[in-house]
Structure 1
Amino acid sequence: MLEKKLKALKWDSYEEVTHGFKLMLEPLKEKMNGSGHIDLGNSHGAIYDEETSQMETFSRLVWAIGPYLYQNEDVFLKEEIHASFVAGTDPTSKHYFGKLANYDQKFVEMAALATCLLLNKETIWQDFRAQEKENIAHWFLQINERKIPKNNWRFFRILVNVTMKNLEMPYSQEIIDQEFAFIDSCYQGKGWYCDGKESQVDYYIPWAFHYYSLLISKFLEPDEDAERLKKIRERATLFAQDYQYWFDRKGRAVPFGRSLTYRFAQGAFWSALVFADLEALPWPMVKALFSTHMQAWFREAIFTANGILNVGYAYPNLNMAENYNAAGSPYWAFKVFLLLAVDRQHPFWQAEKQLPHLSRQRMASKEMRALIEHSAHSEQVMFYPAGQFIENQSHAPAKYGKFVYSTQFGFSVPKGTYFYAEGAFDNTLALSEDGLYFRAHAQNDAFEIVEDRVVHYWSPMPGVHIKSTIIPLGQAHLRIHDIQTEKVLFVAEGGFSTTLEYSSTFSDHKFAQIDTPLGRSSIRALKGYDDANIVRPEVNTNVLYPRSIFPCLQGKIEPGQHRLISLITGAMTAEQDSKWGMTSEK
């Protein structure tokens, strides 16, 4: 019933966005008890303890509750927020959020709570007693005394101190300035940041770097912070010109990188633009990008039977989850509801939706570390990254190192490492010394991104050096691998994964294809492979389809220099394959 109601929404008016928020909040209201914690019952674990997981669930709902209360009267939610702040920040309370350690997960959760107080200074904040205000400030300001990662977490310090400043409580201007300086050091140009390391350019740029910058900008002093405000708005405007390419005309964003269980947080940047009253793109386009994105998500199986957002992407899937994804973590998606703090008379709400008219179908950016191509009238987006990687996170080669990512076909993460099918090596070249244990493309030693191609220089193991050139061709692309090896290698080239449901397949020694209602996935050897076949990987490896299948080329090469060339298609229609002469002769 919940899914049906959400699916019916167009997400294009204040009333509909509010209704959608209320529908998703309703299953959780009965679990609220004024403690600042929400127990979702028996569930999987995360790297932090159960108490932190329960606090996280509560705080992530506040990303929406805070903006909602800014413009709406709701006695139940206001009392819940008030009681939770009191209980969570009182050191004598059994629900105390606690004395925090270095790198504590609760520093992340401070962001939503601080935003709620910033927005509701005249209502929620003013209702606290003097001692309660001191308790709240003392708990928040622990972030100034502890170590935190050198990445988007630095915004949490800024946000806490800006909040304390606006609430006329103790704060550190020195820390605000220091952390803004760190943020500036992450700037790569043309609107793009990196998330602490140059190899990390993913969704943390829109839903963290720009989102927090735009949010905070509303509470900076125009006179004191004029230069900072100008920089924030100029960079966000530049970023919007590129970020619109990450979405296809159906509203689907490219599945790429970590933290994908945050789902419609992918659209939070559009909300932040409206909140900051920054028309980086015409409001009709921003509205279309936002509303189609929200509609796209509610076509997917993202709720449990009890109406709780599940961990996964297009369906419940712990295999692709991060170690920091607890049961309530997906509610980070509620950052998108910052829109609820925007006045109903804002031009955004009055605008008629209009999808962006892209000036070009292909866009390459060294700052973004990717080339993006729209095809089939923007029904599909192909995303070709280079030079991206993240350390100490699960499935990094799969989430950052595939040669291409698609809004139609997604990508897959491994379920094992011993057999090829366990690795789910779609859209990558995997190599093995024994034919069992395969190593796929992961990190680049160097890379090139130009208007018509992406080039990877990489080494999967000692004694093997590869130059991989990827040339996009609409819904198809060429892969050219120049390999220098000191050892005998088994090689396997994976194409696009697609759903196993209603699939028909064909393969011979140089060509393999799969047809499904989604379109066609095919691969043809042009040089250097021995055989072609169809691979059915482990279940729950593709982020879009629980049961998947992909075409593959395989071969064996001796020590020396080799060139492998293949043509890979992930087409919404069979006509694209015909264009490149890839239709089978069944």
Structure 2
Amino acid sequence: MNASAGDLLGLPPEDRTWSPYTGFTRAHWEAAADGMLDAAWKWATPGGARLDLPGPPSHSGVRSDGLEGYARTFLAAGFRVAGAGGEDPNGLLERYADGLGAGTRTPGRDDTESWPLILDHHVQGQPMVESASVALGLRLTRPWLWDRLAPDVQDRAEQWLRGALRHVPAGNNWYLFPYTVAGFLESVGRGDAETVRARERASELLEHWYRGDGWYADGDGRAFDHYNGWALHLYPLLDAHLAGDEKESAHHGARLREHLESFSLMFGGDGAPLHFGRSLTYRFAASAGVGLGAVTGHTPLAPGVSRRVVSGSLRYFLERGAVGNDGLLNLGWHGPHAATLQSYSGPASPYWASKAFVVLLAPAEHPLWVSPEEAAPSEGPDRVLSVPAAGFLVQSTGADGVVRLHNHGSDHVRPDEGESAADEDPHYARLAYSTVTGPTSAENTADNHLSVTVGGARSARRRIRPLGSGHGDGWGWAASWHLPVFPAGPSTVPGLRVESVTVARGRHELRVHRVLGAPDGARAELTGWATAPGGPVRSLLRGLHGWEAPEEVRAPLGTAFARWATVPRLGAEVTGTAVLVALASLTADPEAALPAGASDEVVDGVVDGVEVAGDTVTVRWAEDGARTRIAFGRATRPVPMTVDHGVTVDHG
């Protein structure tokens, strides 16, 4: 543990008897919440309505950011006090009660205390996001805060909150904010037709966005990311749990259980969640779904495994600079990191991490806290798991605890949105992500990317269309296609498309691409994992068929994990249809020998044969002689492909 973080937050000594992996107990979670709240409240306005934390404002402005500071820390305080049965030794609830009264006295006024009004998402939307945290905080602490408020303060709070029911949310998880507000109002006897309709509308959309395998799309497109755990599962199941609604708990709980079958594998052996998707500055909020599953009992994980995952995630960030010398969560990943942020990120945004403190709703005698920690899923045998609904292929290796996510299905492109290279998002567009690497900056060479260069313009990957996935014993695959889009000249080239397949086995990745409709003079490039030279994490990329000799390119802006990085790259001239085969590998195992080999040669010790016959690729693995056969579909239009391995056959 980083001594400064432990000292700043007042963490107790480690307990390696009950928590042999992390040393963290329930007392560590309580102390972390207390320390973070104490540091944040030093920046409160005199009336306590806003916590104006230091730092550059979000695009919503300083007043909205101050409300965000109040609301998101209130959520942590709510879990802390409710989990302690109302005990509040630090007097948190009195401060939040005062702030509620001050913020709702003259909402919309431009002064020190008044909260901004909740309006449509495209006008002034951020307060709607924060209304859900205010409502949850009030619901969690009702006996000790809401029930003791003066009637006029209750009325003012209700009137402000109802703004979330009367305005238009963004077309994604935002619909769960009025859902949560309505749930609170109904729980205190203030429900009506307006609250009923808000909840019905959100429930209808949630059903529409459910894609299977425990995964929701965040809206009408194909955005699958951490919003599943910290929003799309959390709000409805927590609402049902607090209401004692067994029917709704069973419905949402079954989906969370299925979600955790795959998502629990997406935490590394060091506790890190996957660095993938937006809002990554929320950090250990990624474990909220795991914690909620343990609290409600809707989880496939043993209590000791759940605690190892959630405490591992908290510890991971605390010992890597997420808390600054002022005790505040900073904007970034390990420490400050601008490329991790979005325009809506403000100084208090990292306190969405408060959702992880849902674990405190499990009392001290709960199995989550009294069962000894057990190994996380990524710390066991090597695993490869396909998630067809999301187009994911998850690959973990027990020797180093590294988890890799091969992305053949999640993008951040709305159905009504055109594909523009200018809007390429490094946190969705890349072929692969992991728990030990981050994507390179948009200003540097893209890692884990297949591009086509035409007329000097290098293509981007935007909308991702799945072509199938599957897994067997120790191996798995996923495939997709995309239209290369260009930042200069015509945005697309007629007839040009790329089909991509990843086959994972052990720590190795077979990357096969078919480029179709390439014009004369086009060039394909494939990059691998971005790592720090000489660091403990190493990557390899070697051509097996069709590629020229490998090279190494620099990424001076680095990643969230490395201040300065290098990226392996392969290139090839392509015209018409070309099938390209490469071997990639990522490891943090010091005992692992990354094989050497030149482009178009067999890589000794891993692959001892590659045959490309038309649109069929057959690879023979050196370890056991197993064969992987990839058969692309017809060239005239994208169709699901077939991937066979050994005696196991999976059809897309």
TM-score surpassing 0.5?
A: yes
| In structure 2, C-alpha distance between the alignment counterparts of 1:52 and 1:29, rounded to whole Å | 17
| In structure 2, C-alpha distance between the alignment counterparts of 1:58 and 1:199, rounded to whole Å | 32
- Once the two structures are TM-superposed, the CA of residue 160 in structure 1 deviates from its matched residue by 0.6
Q: Deviations over 1:326-379 (max 9, x none)?
A: 111111111111223332222211111112456871111112320111114461
Alignment of 1:151-166 (within 5 A): 151-166=172-187
> In structure 2, do the counterparts of structure 1 residues 395 and 496 end up closer, same or farther at CA, with 3 Å as the change threshold?
farther
Is residue 132 of structure 2 the alignment partner of residue 132 of structure 1? no
Corresponding residue of 1:24:
36
| In structure 1, C-alpha distance between the alignment counterparts of 2:465 and 2:96, rounded to whole Å | 49
Which of 356, 364, 374 is the matching residue for 2:396?
Answer: 374
- Does the Cα contact within 8 Å between 1:217 and 1:276 map onto a contact in 2? no
- Once the two structures are TM-superposed, the CA of residue 219 in structure 1 deviates from its matched residue by 2.8
- Once the two structures are TM-superposed, the CA of residue 274 in structure 1 deviates from its matched residue by 3.3
Is residue 103 of structure 2 the alignment partner of residue 88 of structure 1? yes
Task: State the secondary structure of the residue aligned to 1:316.
Answer: coil
Moved more, 352-361 or 115-124: 352-361
- Once the two structures are TM-superposed, the CA of residue 204 in structure 1 deviates from its matched residue by 0.5
Which of 561, 572, 576 is the matching residue for 2:588?
Answer: 572
| In structure 1, C-alpha distance between the alignment counterparts of 2:116 and 2:428, rounded to whole Å | 35
> In structure 2, do the counterparts of structure 1 residues 252 and 352 end up closer, same or farther at CA, with 3 Å as the change threshold?
same
Corresponding residue of 2:217:
194
Which of 415, 420, 426 is the matching residue for 1:398?
Answer: 426
Moved more, 10-19 or 464-473: 10-19
Corresponding residue of 2:563:
546
Which of 2, 5, 13 is the matching residue for 1:3?
Answer: 5
Is residue 525 of structure 2 the alignment partner of residue 492 of structure 1? yes
Corresponding residue of 1:65:
77
Is residue 487 of structure 2 the alignment partner of residue 467 of structure 1? no
- Does the Cα contact within 8 Å between 2:451 and 2:525 map onto a contact in 1? yes
Which of 530, 536, 549 is the matching residue for 1:517?
Answer: 536
- Once the two structures are TM-superposed, the CA of residue 410 in structure 1 deviates from its matched residue by 2.9
Alignment of 1:215-364 (within 5 A): 215-220=238-243, 222=245, 226-356=246-376, 361-364=383-386
Corresponding residue of 1:563:
579
Letter in 2 for 1:499: A
| In structure 1, C-alpha distance between the alignment counterparts of 2:311 and 2:118, rounded to whole Å | 38
- Once the two structures are TM-superposed, the CA of residue 408 in structure 1 deviates from its matched residue by 2.2
Q: Deviations over 1:468-498 (max 9, x none)?
A: 2221132221212211212422332111111
| In structure 1, C-alpha distance between the alignment counterparts of 2:376 and 2:341, rounded to whole Å | 32
Task: State the secondary structure of the residue aligned to 2:394.
Answer: strand
- Does the Cα contact within 8 Å between 2:512 and 2:582 map onto a contact in 1? yes
Letter in 2 for 1:154: Y
- Once the two structures are TM-superposed, the CA of residue 138 in structure 1 deviates from its matched residue by 0.5
| In structure 2, C-alpha distance between the alignment counterparts of 1:450 and 1:204, rounded to whole Å | 24
Letter in 2 for 1:465: R
Letter in 2 for 1:361: R
Corresponding residue of 1:512:
none
- Once the two structures are TM-superposed, the CA of residue 527 in structure 1 deviates from its matched residue by 2.1
Is residue 439 of structure 2 the alignment partner of residue 411 of structure 1? yes
Which of 475, 482, 486 is the matching residue for 2:514?
Answer: 482
> In structure 2, do the counterparts of structure 1 residues 129 and 4 end up closer, same or farther at CA, with 3 Å as the change threshold?
closer
- Does the Cα contact within 8 Å between 1:492 and 1:555 map onto a contact in 2? yes
Task: State the secondary structure of the residue aligned to 1:575.
Answer: coil
- Does the Cα contact within 8 Å between 1:11 and 1:17 map onto a contact in 2? no
Corresponding residue of 2:56:
44
Task: State the secondary structure of the residue aligned to 1:457.
Answer: strand
TM-score normalized with structure 2 length: 0.80
Moved more, 209-218 or 29-38: 29-38
- Once the two structures are TM-superposed, the CA of residue 25 in structure 1 deviates from its matched residue by 2.5
- Does the Cα contact within 8 Å between 1:63 and 1:334 map onto a contact in 2? yes
Task: State the secondary structure of the residue aligned to 1:381.
Answer: strand
| In structure 1, C-alpha distance between the alignment counterparts of 2:201 and 2:96, rounded to whole Å | 31
> In structure 2, do the counterparts of structure 1 residues 439 and 135 end up closer, same or farther at CA, with 3 Å as the change threshold?
same
Letter in 1 for 2:224: V
Corresponding residue of 2:618:
none
Q: Deviations over 1:261-296 (max 9, x none)?
A: 110001111222233344542211111111122222
> In structure 2, do the counterparts of structure 1 residues 425 and 91 end up closer, same or farther at CA, with 3 Å as the change threshold?
same
Letter in 2 for 1:456: S
Corresponding residue of 2:489:
none
| In structure 2, C-alpha distance between the alignment counterparts of 1:176 and 1:287, rounded to whole Å | 32
Letter in 1 for 2:526: E
- Once the two structures are TM-superposed, the CA of residue 396 in structure 1 deviates from its matched residue by 4.6
| In structure 2, C-alpha distance between the alignment counterparts of 1:113 and 1:427, rounded to whole Å | 40
- Does the Cα contact within 8 Å between 1:47 and 1:324 map onto a contact in 2? yes
Task: State the secondary structure of the residue aligned to 1:150.
Answer: coil
Alignment gaps of 5+ in structure 2: 15-21, 485-491, 597-602, 607-652
- Does the Cα contact within 8 Å between 2:270 and 2:316 map onto a contact in 1? yes
| In structure 1, C-alpha distance between the alignment counterparts of 2:323 and 2:477, rounded to whole Å | 39
Letter in 2 for 1:450: G
Corresponding residue of 1:537:
555
Corresponding residue of 1:431:
452
Alignment gaps of 5+ in structure 1: 416-421, 504-515
- Once the two structures are TM-superposed, the CA of residue 175 in structure 1 deviates from its matched residue by 2.4
| In structure 2, C-alpha distance between the alignment counterparts of 1:462 and 1:215, rounded to whole Å | 48
> In structure 2, do the counterparts of structure 1 residues 307 and 434 end up closer, same or farther at CA, with 3 Å as the change threshold?
farther
Task: State the secondary structure of the residue aligned to 2:514.
Answer: strand
> In structure 2, do the counterparts of structure 1 residues 190 and 376 end up closer, same or farther at CA, with 3 Å as the change threshold?
closer
- Does the Cα contact within 8 Å between 2:383 and 2:397 map onto a contact in 1? yes
- Once the two structures are TM-superposed, the CA of residue 231 in structure 1 deviates from its matched residue by 0.5
**Percent identity at matched positions?**
20
- Once the two structures are TM-superposed, the CA of residue 200 in structure 1 deviates from its matched residue by 1.0
> In structure 2, do the counterparts of structure 1 residues 582 and 58 end up closer, same or farther at CA, with 3 Å as the change threshold?
farther
Moved more, 128-137 or 74-83: 74-83
Which of 533, 541, 545 is the matching residue for 1:527?
Answer: 545
Letter in 2 for 1:390: H
| In structure 2, C-alpha distance between the alignment counterparts of 1:178 and 1:563, rounded to whole Å | 47
CA RMSD of aligned residues (A): 2.4
- Does the Cα contact within 8 Å between 1:320 and 1:395 map onto a contact in 2? no
Give the total of aligned pairs.
554
| In structure 2, C-alpha distance between the alignment counterparts of 1:378 and 1:363, rounded to whole Å | 18
- Once the two structures are TM-superposed, the CA of residue 166 in structure 1 deviates from its matched residue by 1.1
Task: State the secondary structure of the residue aligned to 2:581.
Answer: strand
TM-score normalized with structure 1 length: 0.89
Moved more, 251-260 or 484-493: 484-493
- Does the Cα contact within 8 Å between 2:58 and 2:344 map onto a contact in 1? yes
Corresponding residue of 2:189:
168
| In structure 2, C-alpha distance between the alignment counterparts of 1:442 and 1:544, rounded to whole Å | 24
Alignment of 1:97-108 (within 5 A): 97-103=115-121, 104-108=125-129
Moved more, 524-533 or 272-281: 272-281
Moved more, 173-182 or 245-254: 173-182
- Once the two structures are TM-superposed, the CA of residue 15 in structure 1 deviates from its matched residue by 1.3
| In structure 1, C-alpha distance between the alignment counterparts of 2:372 and 2:355, rounded to whole Å | 23
Task: State the secondary structure of the residue aligned to 2:592.
Answer: helix
Moved more, 310-319 or 269-278: 269-278
